[in-house]
Amino acid sequence: MNKFSVKTEKENNPSSAYKLGMFPGVFTPSILTILGIILFLRMGYTVGHAGLGKALILITFANLVSILTTASLSAIATNIHVKGGGAYYLISRTLGVQFGGAIGLVLFLAQSVSIAFYCMGFGEALMSLLPSVSYLSSQTIAIIAVLFLFFFAWLGADWATKFQYLVRS
C-alpha cells in the first residue's frame, strides 16, 4: 500500500465490522417497537371505550411526543460521537452521570416491561389462533417466548437482528 492510498473505515477501525449500522441497528428495532403487538391488540379496546375521535387524538399526541423526543435525541447525537449504549450514552454524556444513571434505570425498567407486554401479547394472539388446549395458556406461551428471547440475547445483538429479519419476512 502506497502513501496515497486511502484506508476504508473497516481498516481504520477493526471493531466497526461488528457494528449493525443504521438500518438493521436503528430503523428495524424502532419500527418493530412502534408497530408492535400492543398497538394492534389494544386498539379495539381503546376505540370501544374512548370512541374513535378520542382514540385518534390519543394516537396523535403519542406520535407528537415520539417526534419531539426523536428530534431532541437527533440534536444531541449530532453534537457528540455516539458510542455503544444508545440513548443512555447520549443522555449520560449530555446531562451528566447523575441524571444519566437515573434515566438509564428508567429506560431499563421500561424495556423490561415492554418485553413482558410483547410476550403476553404474543401469547394472547397465538392462543386465539390455536385450537383450545387445556394445558396451554397465554402465560405459558409468554414464558416460552421470554426464554427464546433470552437465548437470542445471550447469543448477541447480531443474532437478534437476523431473527428480526426472519420474523419480518
pTM tops 0.75: no
Half-sphere exposure of 38 (CA within 13 A, CB side): 12
Instruction: Give per-residue pLDDT as tens, 81-111.
Output: 766 666 677 777 777 888 888 888 888 888 8
| 3-state SS class at 81 | coil
What's the pLDDT tens digit per position in 2-50? 544 444 455 455 555 556 666 666 666 666 666 677 777 788 888 999 9
Residues 6+ apart with CB under 8 A from 80: 90, 93, 94
How large is the average pLDDT for residues 59-81? 78
Please give the angle made by the CA atoms of 150, 168 and 60, to the nearest 5 degrees.
95
- Measured CA to CA, the distance from residue 162 to residue 154 in angstroms comes to 14
Which one has a higher pLDDT value, 22 or 62? 62
For residue 83, what is the DSSP state?
Answer: -
Torsion angle of the four alpha carbons 91, 95, 82, 34, in this order, in degrees rounded to the nearest 10:
20
C-alpha cell at 25: 441497528
User: How would you class 123 by CB atoms within 10 Å of its CB: exposed for 0-12, middle for 13-18, buried for 19 or more?
Assistant: buried
pLDDT above 90: residue 131: no
Assign 3-state DSSP to the chain and report helix, strand, coil percentages, each to 5: 80, 0, 20
- The reported pLDDT for the residue numbered 40 is 76
